[in-house]
Amino acid sequence: MTLPTNALLAETRKRIVPPRTTPPPAPAPRAAVPPLAPGALPGLGHAAALLRDPLGFLGSLARHGGVVRIRLGPRTVCVVTDARLVHTLLVALAHDCPRGAVQDTLRTAFGDGLLMSEGQAHRDRRRIIQPAFGPDRTAGYLAVMHQVTEERAGRWRPGQVLDVAKEMNHLALEIVTRSLFDARLSEDATLAFHRALPDLVKGQIVQSLYPHPALARLPLPVNRRFDAAVRVLNRVVDQAVNGRPGSGRPDQRGGTLPALLRAATDPATGRPLTEADVRSEAITMFGAGTETVSTTLTWLLDELLRHPEVEARVLAELDEHLPAGTTPTPEALARLTYTRGVTQEVVRLHAPNAFLMRTARVPVDLGPYRIPAGTELLYSLTALHRDPLRYDDPSSFRPERWQDGGGLGRPSFLPFGAGKHKCIGEAFAWAELTVAAAAILRRWRPVAVPGARAREVVWTTVQAHGLRVRLAPRGSAAPSAAVSSASAASAPAGRDVAADAAVTASTTGLAPAGAGTDRPHSAGCPLTATATRPGAPAAVPLPRPPAELRAAADRHADWAVRHGLLAPTELPDYRAYALHELIGHAFPRARGTDLDLLVDMLGWFTVLDDRFDGPPGRRPAEAHALVDPLISALDGDARPAAPGDLLLTAWQELWDRQRRSTSPDWRARAAREWRACLATFPAEAEHRARGTVPALGLGLADTMRLRRHGSCVYPFMNILERVHGADAPAALHAEPALHRLRANTADAATLINDLYSLEREERQSAAAFNTVLTLQRVRGCTRSRAVRAVRTRVGTLHRENERLRRDLGRRHPAGRWYLDGTRELVAGVQAWTSTSDRYLVPGDRAR
C-alpha cells in the first residue's frame, strides 16, 4: 500500500529527527533592571547622602545588588558595587563604556591627554609615552627618588613638627618633576601648585554633579576657583616643561617625557605633537603622580604610627635587603616582600579614588543587569577594597593578607584600574612609595602629636588631612624588638652567632654561658646561665602566702574538670605545671576573683596550646575548626557551642569574665590582641603543612612575630589594667615607645620559654617554632652558640625596656604601675620556668 504524501513525509521526519523526549529550552530571561537604592529625597535624590558621607553611602549600596541605581537631582546614575562587574566594565566593556563626567571636566580644562582620551587616540598616545616607563628607565628613576627624598628629609630638624600631608605633597611633586622632567620648580611655583590642587579637585567633583554642563560656565565661586586653579597648573607645568634642567646633564634631557613627546609624531596626521599636546600630557603626569602618591604616603606613615610592630618589621627587612646608605635597585626592591605587602595594604584600605565614572554609549549587559545607552556608571575603588565579601576584616590594617602574593591580580584589587586604561605609571608609583618611605624611616622616627592623626576627607580622592608628627632622629630611641632580633639573628650566612653574642656580652656585662652549658638548667637564670649575677633583676618572690595560691590552684582544677578540659586522672601531671605560681610571680597584686580569672585563663590557654602538639598543629583545616569559633566569640558571635565543644564553652565564659567592669577601649584592645594570639595557631599549622617552617621558607622576623603574638603575653598585659581597676592613661597607650616596650616584653617572655622548652621541642615530630632551633637552621651554628645568642638577646631586651620605662615614667607618672607590671610579668615567667615541670621531656618527671 502506498502511503499518502503527507504521511510519507511525517514518517521520514521521524527517522531523521527523533521525537522530543524533553521540553524545549526556556527562553533566556531578560536582563534585570538594577534596583533603586532606598532613601531618595524629593528633588535631591541621593545627593545629600552622597555628599554627607560619600564612602559610607557608597559602601552601603552593595547589600542591594551588584549594580544599584541612585538619583542625583534629576540624573540617574548606576553604581557598580561588585568588584567582578567593575573589572568587566573596565576590561570587556571598555570600548562601549568610555570615561564619564568626572574626567570630562578635566578634558575641558586640559585637553585630550592620556588620562582623558579614548579609542585610537588613547592607544596612540600610550605608545608614545610608554618608553618613559620602560624597565630600562627604572634604575635611574630609583636613584632620583632616593636622592630627592634624602635631600628633603635632610632639611628636617629634630623636634620639628611636620604637617605630613603637606610635606608628602611637596615630596611627590619634586620626585615627578625631577624624574620625568629633569627639572626643578621654583619654591613659588611649588607653593602655587599645592594651593591650586584643592580648588581643582573640588571644582572637578562639583562640576561633574551639575545637572547640566552649562552650569560650569556660570560665574559661581566654585567655578571661578576651578578656572584659576587650571591657569596656575598650566603655568607650573610650563615651567617644568621648558625650565632649567635639574640634573645639569645635557644627555639626561633627551630622555625626559617632554623630549619623547616632542620627538613623536601624531599617527593620525603624521605631524609632530603640538605644545598643547605636550602640556596636556605633562599635566596628566603631575596630577596622577602627585596627589594620589602623596596621599598614600601620608596614610602609610599614619598606619605605621598605629602599628609599631609593622614598622619594626619593615625596618628589619630594610636592614637585611636595603642597607642604609645604598641606592635602591630593582633587585633590592623585589626582595622587600613584607614592605610591598604593607604598601599594598595601605593602598587597599585607603584607595585614593573615592569614585570614578564611565558612560554607556550603547546598551550593555553588566552581569544580570541591562544598562541602557547613555547611562552613567559610577564605581568607588575605596568601597570595593573595603568589601567584607572580598576581604576578611576589611576595616583592619593587616599586611599579612598579602603574603605569598595573596590578592595580586585578582579582580577585587584594582588600585590602578584595569584594561586598556590601566595606569601607565603603576610600577613607578609602587617604587616611589617604597623608596620614599624607606629613606624617611631610615633617618627619622615620627612620633604622633596627640590629637593630630590622619582623617579622611573625601572629594574625588580620599585625602589624608590633619596628621602631624614630631621628628626624632632614628637612633635617638631604643630600637624595637623586631628590628633588634632580626639584626642579631638574621645576619648574613657565615656570620658567627657566638661571636655576636660575645661582642654583646663584652659591651653589656652579660657573660654568655660556657661551651658545655648548652642546656638551660632549672637552677640557672636564662639571661646568664648562672645562679646569680650582680645587677640582674631578682626573681619576684611569691607575694602572698602559699596557701592562698594553692587554694586558687584547687579552684582552678575544679573549674577545668567541670568544663571537661581535663579528666580527673590527668590532674596530677597537670598540677605539676604549677601554673598558679606563674600567676603569683607575675601578678603580685591579684586577689580573689582576679586571681581566679588569671589562673583559669592561663590553664585554658595551656590546654589549647597542648592540642596543637597533636594533629591540629599540622593540619590547617583542623586548626581552623578549633580556633575560628573562639575568634568568632570575640566578634560578638554568641551562638551556643556545639555539644562536645568544651574549649569553646569554657572560652565564652572566660571572655565574659574578662570583659566585666571594663571600658569599651579596653574590651576592643583585648579582643584585638586575643584575636592576633589565637590566629597564630592555624598560621603555624599552615606553615607546617606547606613546609615553610622557620628557616625553611619562613624568616626569623616572621617567626618572631608569630611567636610574639602566640605567646599570650599581650592579653595578659591587658589584664594588668583589670587587676589595677582602671585603664592605663590614654596618652600612655598612644606612645609608640609603649608599643615597643610591650613588643619587647612579649619577645623576652617568648625567648625565655624557648630556652626552657628547647629539649622537649627538639624531640617533637612536628617542626617547632623555637628560636634556638631556628638559629641553628638559619646559621648552621651549634646548639651552644644558638642558646647563647638567645640568652644575649633576652638581656638586651631587658636593658632596652628599662630605658623605655624610665623615659615613659617621666612623661606619664600616672602610668608607672602599668610599666612596673610589664617588668613583673617577665620576671614571673623567668622565675616560674626555672622550677615548673611544664617543659620536662616526657619520662623525665618519673625520674
The model's confidence at residue 148, banded by pLDDT at 50, 70 and 90, is: very high
The model's confidence at residue 767, banded by pLDDT at 50, 70 and 90, is: low
Give pLDDT, residue 513. 30
565-593 per-residue burial string, b: 16 or more CB within 10 A, e: under 16: bbeeeeeeebbebbbbbbbbbbbbebeee
Instruction: Supply 62's cell numbers.
Output: 552593595
Between 752 and 297, where is the model more confident?
297
Mind listing the pLDDT tens digit for each residue in 124-140? 888 888 888 888 888 89
The model's confidence at residue 144, banded by pLDDT at 50, 70 and 90, is: very high
Residue range 793-818: mean pLDDT, rounded: 91
Average pLDDT of the chain, as a whole number: 79
Residue 169: how many other CB atoms lie within 10 Å? 23
- Give me the DSSP letters along 379-425: E-HHHHTT-TTTSSSTTS--GGGGGGGTTTT-TT--TT--GGGS-TT
**Contact between residue 68 and residue 405 where contact means Cβ atoms under 8 Å apart:** no
Angle at which helices 783-811 and 481-489 cross, to 10°: 160
Give pLDDT, residue 490. 30
Mind listing the pLDDT tens digit for each residue in 199-257? 887 777 677 767 677 787 888 888 888 888 888 888 888 888 876 555 544 345 457 88
| Pairing state between β 67-72 and 455-458 | unpaired
Share of the chain above pLDDT 70, in %: 79
Residue range 384-408: mean pLDDT, rounded: 81
Residue range 571-595: mean pLDDT, rounded: 87
Highest mean pLDDT among 336-340, 617-621, 760-764: 336-340
pLDDT at position 509 over 60: no
Give pLDDT, residue 556. 93
pLDDT at position 712 over 60: yes
Residue range 785-811: mean pLDDT, rounded: 90
pLDDT at position 30 over 90: no
The model's confidence at residue 106, banded by pLDDT at 50, 70 and 90, is: low
Give pLDDT, residue 304. 94
Between 243 and 156, where is the model more confident?
156
Least confident of 167-176, 426-435, 482-491: 482-491
Highest mean pLDDT among 221-225, 703-707, 820-824: 820-824
The model's confidence at residue 602, banded by pLDDT at 50, 70 and 90, is: very high
Least confident of 225-229, 322-326, 377-381: 322-326
**Contact between residue 312 and residue 484 where contact means Cβ atoms under 8 Å apart:** no
Task: Write the CB contacts of 46 (distance below 8 Å, at least 6 apart in sequence).
Answer: 37, 39, 40, 57, 70, 71, 72
Share of the chain above pLDDT 90, in %: 32
Residue range 407-413: mean pLDDT, rounded: 62
pLDDT at position 831 over 70: yes
Amino acid present at 332: A
